Chain A
Amino acid sequence: MLPMLSHRLAGLAGTLFAASLITFFALEVLPGDAAQILLGTEARDDTLAAMRAQLGIDRPMAERYVDWVLGLLTGDLGTSQIYGIPVADMVRDRLAISLPLAGMAFLLTVLIAMPIGILAAAGRGGPADFLAMGFAQIGLAIPNFWFGILLVLLFAVKLGWVSTGGFPGWSDNPFNALGALFLPALALALSEAAILSRVVRGALLETLGEDYIRTARAKGVSSSAVIARHALRNAMIPISTIMGLQFAFLVAGSIVIENVFYLPGLGRLLIQSIFQRDLIVVRDLVLMFAGIVVLVNFAVDLIYNAIDPRARVQR
């Protein structure tokens, strides 16, 4: 366990270092000048130069890279060039939406996908399988922003139960905040659940064909107990891998849904920062997303270890 941890931590540091280099220098070659974007077409050249100096983007590239990395090492994410406020504050506010949203969407994904996948595998070829895989097809085919708008039309415009979007903040009433995240989470969960239910079905069917399942059946274990105790546990390895990928995607990849529900999440911040060439924010966010993916993969590995003793021995 310990060697694996230190191995993983070294991997995390290496990944982040590589990501810092790539994100810094890749963004340097991006066409576009933050000063010009801020000042528009009427700005004179001397004004642009003054703005570049004010934003600190006229300094040499290497100097800015070292400043940035040194800042990160001391826990300073820097100041947004465009907004003029600390990046850490912006990221904190956005995480307060994006993480709960991802968490809720992930929970809904699992709650929808697991039963559907299990039912489909248990009744392979039967009507339950047909219905479940029909759901998966539809879920994959419907774009999530479209589904989101349909949800808004029904629950916000017609029934008036929730507002069409926006976020009231956690300080007033946490239930309102959770309510504001429910529809976007559901919109996000639909296609993710469609993917996951197919994975669950496939993984279960594979393990159901194994010898030990036949043995369990032969010794008289009931069909539901076979699935719950033997098959599902073994099928969890591919399933948890996909779940890990899905969670990482949900944290960073909900830009479209954030736009539909006008939620101030991380995805929108990232896109806006790219358009404004607020490069320090883009770099901090890319690095953070890289860190999140590495951490989620690490968590998935820990889960492997917990559910499969063989994984422990092999390491």
Chain B
Amino acid sequence: MNGVVKLLGVAAIGTGLCLGMTAPPAEANEGKRTDIVMGVTLEPPHLDPTAGAAAAIDEIVYANVFEGLTRINESGQVKAGLAERWVIEDDGLTYRFILREGVTFHDGATLEASDVKFSLERAMAEDSVNAQKALFSAIASVDVVDDRTVIIRLSRKEGQFLWNLGWGDAVIVDPASADTNKTNPVGTGPFKLDTWVRGATLTLTENPAYWGTKPALNKVTFQFIKDPAAQVVALLAGDIDAVANINAPEMVARFQADGRFAVDVGTTEGETILSINHRRAPWNDVRVRRAIQHAIDRNAIIAGAMFGFGTPIGSHFAPHSPAYLDLTEQGLYDPEKAKALLAEAGVKSGTKAVIKLPPPTYARRGGEIIAAQLKAVGIELEIVPVEWGQWLAEVFKAPHDFDFTIVSHTEPLDIGIYARDDYYFGYDNPAFKELMKTVEETSNPAERYALYREAQQMLADEAVNGFLFQLAKIGVRRKEISGLWMNAPVQANDLTKVHWE
């Protein structure tokens, strides 16, 4: 139903545009604007990034309201955050962080080393509700040396520790306000919460006491618009200035042709895959999985489901990463080969299976195409649309009741999920687990990259899942706006560098 509604809605827009409708001229503005209205698809449930996984939370607060010891920038690099600098001892286990001077929280409290200790220990605690508790699992102790110095000792080497500290889940909070951050977030960032009209808008205003460079904007309004067709018309009418990631790839050409807008097609960390349940026969047979990879025409899926936006992938790794290995040639579309492999494995034509599709467009539309492609080689899929709650309960959690599903794994650098015991697709390979353990203990970048490439090769050889494409980030903005992120190494709308030309 929803899909139909959306398609018809977009068709309605198409019709309107064909009728030659044009928008009224934008109001002439004296001087440059210092506010922005961002259209966002999902409203966050609350605003505490240390107590929820919803990308919608980080999309509002990351870098804007809350900051961590380090931060991740647009190109995915780790930069200094609240820690001005750090020293790693030769043992690779002891990190000494020096905090910036004169940092205050929005309620006036001063940032001290004890706040860092509090924040990290809170995230690691037994009753912690931090969605990414694993980020902190290597920490053995956090000690305050003086007001501006913290020493973190690790129990094992963690090559990515500084990156981990840059996540939204690792931001530094004040003990006095930590428990009320859900509704009244108190951070150290350049913006603070002004108003939140639930279901409608959320407004941030500048924090005059900010320690760093003041942003050009002094007011940011997030307008929650779930319907992609409504996002499109709101942009056309000038009611919103930009959408960081528009969910209507079919409308991109319309914006590209309109002189008032600019379209930025960037990358995300979302490896979109056809997950295969290894717990069930015949999918536990590598020949069958290879057959599936050969039956899938990635380009047809990208063209049909995403209107051409998305980069094909041959393993579980982001193409923009320096450690990427292009393996798309390995499982090329070849239905005849697929049929031969299936016959060899004894899978009869007409074998039935269930594919459960969560709500996003890539899954629902991609699932239809994959069903057609697998049908061509003799596997008949029953399509079962599910909402997220159901997906988590039935597919992700035991008893893992599915044969196939399509999902985009949006965590950065998440190839490690293939080493997990009892992960939902049930891949169990001791050699891969060993490899991931070695990666974790390696901090030399060149060595790490080599290990990651080896891991990608292993997953492609075993055709663990159907590797489809890297999800694109399609941003549409008024062309006078600059400074929005082109890529999304983390799910964030960092507005600190945004300004109007």
Contacts and interface: CB of A to CB of B under 8 A. Distances in A.
Interface in B137-180: none
B182 A44 contact: no
A109 B491 CA distance: 44
B45 A276 contact: yes
B226 A156 contact: no
Nearest to A32: B389
B183 A84 contact: yes
Q: Which 9 A-B pairs have the closest CB atoms?
A: A40-B53, A264-B199, A32-B389, A153-B16, A160-B24, A31-B393, A149-B12, A39-B131, A82-B45
B328 interface: no
Nearest to B24: A160
Contacts of B186: none
A283 interface: no
B198 interface: yes
Interface stretch (A47-55, A130-138, A284-292): A47-55
B73 interface: no
B197 A169 contact: yes
A157 B233 contact: yes
Contacts of B205: none
Nearest to A84: B182
B230 A164 contact: yes
A154 interface: yes
A83 interface: yes
Interface of A: 30-33, 36-44, 46-47, 50-51, 53-54, 82-85, 90, 93-94, 143, 145-146, 149-150, 152-154, 156-160, 163-167, 169, 256, 259-265, 268-269, 272, 275-277
Contacts of A40: 52-54, 131
B127 A149 contact: no
Given A42-B134, A165-B234, A260-B230, 20 more contacts: A32-B390, A33-B389, A36-B389, A37-B392, A38-B52, A38-B54, A39-B53, A42-B411, A43-B131, A44-B134, A47-B133, A145-B5, A149-B230, A154-B21, A156-B233, A157-B16, A262-B230, A264-B199, A272-B199, A275-B387
Given A82-B45, A158-B21, A160-B237, A261 B230 contact: yes
B9 A157 contact: no
Contacts of A82: 45-46
Contacts of A276: 45, 389
Interface string B386-424: 011110111011000000000000010000000000000
Given A38-B45, A156-B237, A32 B393 contact: yes
Interface in B38-72: 43, 45-46, 51-54
Contacts of B130: 47
Contacts of A152: 230, 233, 237
A168 to B, nearest CB: 9
A31 B134 CA distance: 26
Contacts of B237: 152, 156-157, 160, 163-164
Contacts of B394: 31
Given A47-B129, A50-B129, A259 B12 contact: no
A259 B131 CA distance: 29
B200 interface: yes
Given A31-B394, A41-B396, A157-B237, A269 B226 contact: no
B393 A149 contact: no
Interface residues of B, number: 56
B201 interface: yes
B353 interface: no
Given A84-B183, A150-B12, A262-B200, A164 B5 contact: no
Contacts of B198: 83, 85, 90, 93, 264
A15 to B, nearest CB: 28
A155 to B, nearest CB: 10
A263 B183 CA distance: 21
B129 A264 contact: no
Nearest to A47: B133
Contact of B22 (A93, A158, A261): A158
Contacts of A145: 5, 8-9
Contact of B129 (A51, A83, A159, A269): A51
Nearest to B234: A164
B9 A146 contact: yes
Contacts of A165: 225, 230, 234, 239
22 contacts: A33-B392, A37-B392, A39-B131, A40-B52, A43-B132, A50-B128, A143-B8, A146-B8, A146-B12, A149-B230, A156-B233, A160-B237, A163-B239, A165-B234, A166-B200, A261-B230, A262-B223, A262-B227, A269-B199, A275-B387, A275-B389, A277-B389
Contacts of B246: none
A157 B230 CA distance: 11
**Which has the most chain B C-beta neighbours within 10 Å: A30, A39, A41, A261?**
A41
Contacts of B8: 143, 145-146
Contacts of B13: 149, 153
Contacts of A83: 45-46, 183, 198
